[in-house]
Amino acid sequence: MTAERYGVQIKLERGYLDGTVLAPKTAVPGVLFVHGWGGSQEQYLERARQAVALGCICLTFDLTGHGRTQDEQQNVTRETNLQDLLAAYDALVAHPSIDRDAVAVVGSSYGGYLATILTELRPVRWLGLRVPALYLDDGWNTPKRALHVEHDLVAYRKRIVASSDNRALRAAARFGGDVLLVESEHDKIVPHPAIASYLQAFLSAHSLTYRIIAGADHGLSDDASQRAYTSLLMNWLTEMVAGQRAGDRGGAPH
């Protein structure tokens, strides 16, 4: 763990002594987990526990329209859920032990899409995305469920989308931190072209780690895929946190 170091003067009757104080930095990284559409914070609780073992402070939460507010799912919009995410981020960094220069946001599918947009609105150093979804910018305040009727999302996600044509991809193009991007080999909801759109957008990233989970579907419906993702995520977080503690200040948030 890195230490703070500063000089002191130790007073004596005849003058003073020169000294140096070294103290451990008490601030620790924060990790915010964002579930996908139709999911819940339960999906990330075990991974959050493992991140705590790395010395991080973690927050999981249920987006509006999920968990206790399931009844609101028919009417919830992307704007509502983005405001949820902003509120959750602010709650996390309000913790007195959080290092605000060392915040990770980890999101899956719809949560990954929102997490990418968040990077333009709040400082994020590390961005972990699993099968991040893509949506057209039109209808931002339309109920999210209606987007699947009004937009041909299947066709949209089967082509490469320019970063200038999509809000999440524009945010990705401006992101200067470290990125983990995880794809599922047999994903029919977020197919490879959608992932490739994110890949080509992250040109300004400090680092980009890209992995494919062999045999996995979108929801990681088998235990082996779940374990593979957990291993990828924890290995990446371990590397990021270790680098930060060693004094690597690369990839600081904008």
**pLDDT digit string (tens) for 183-232?**
999 999 999 999 999 999 999 999 999 999 999 999 999 999 999 999 99
Spatial distance between the Cα atoms of 79 and 123, rounded to a whole number of angstroms: 19
pLDDT (0 to 100) of residue 250: 44
Higher pLDDT, 254 or 128: 128
CATH fold for domain 26-245: Rossmann fold (3.40.50)
Taking residue 228's Cβ as centre, other Cβ atoms within 10 Å add up to 20
**Close Cβ partners of 254 (under 8 Å, ≥ 6 residues apart):** 123, 174, 175, 176
Domain spans of the chain? 26-245
Average pLDDT of the segment spanning 166-192: 98
CA atoms within 13 A on the CB side of 31: 26
pLDDT (0 to 100) of residue 3: 65
Higher pLDDT, 149 or 246: 149
Q: Is 24 exposed, middle or buried (0-12, 13-18, 19+ CB in 10 A)?
A: exposed
Among 170, 244, 251, 254, CA closest to 205: 251
Question: What is the dihedral sign for C-alpha 9, 10, 15, 18?
Answer: negative
End-to-end C-alpha distance for the chain, whole angstroms: 24
Is residue 78 within 8 A of residue 117, CB to CB? The reply is no
Residue 162 predicted with pLDDT over 60:
yes
pTM above threshold 0.85: yes
Task: Kindly state the percentage of the chain with pLDDT values over 90.
Answer: 83
Higher pLDDT, 23 or 137: 137
36-51 tens-digit pLDDT: 999 989 999 999 999 9
Spatial distance between the Cα atoms of 140 and 82, rounded to a whole number of angstroms: 11
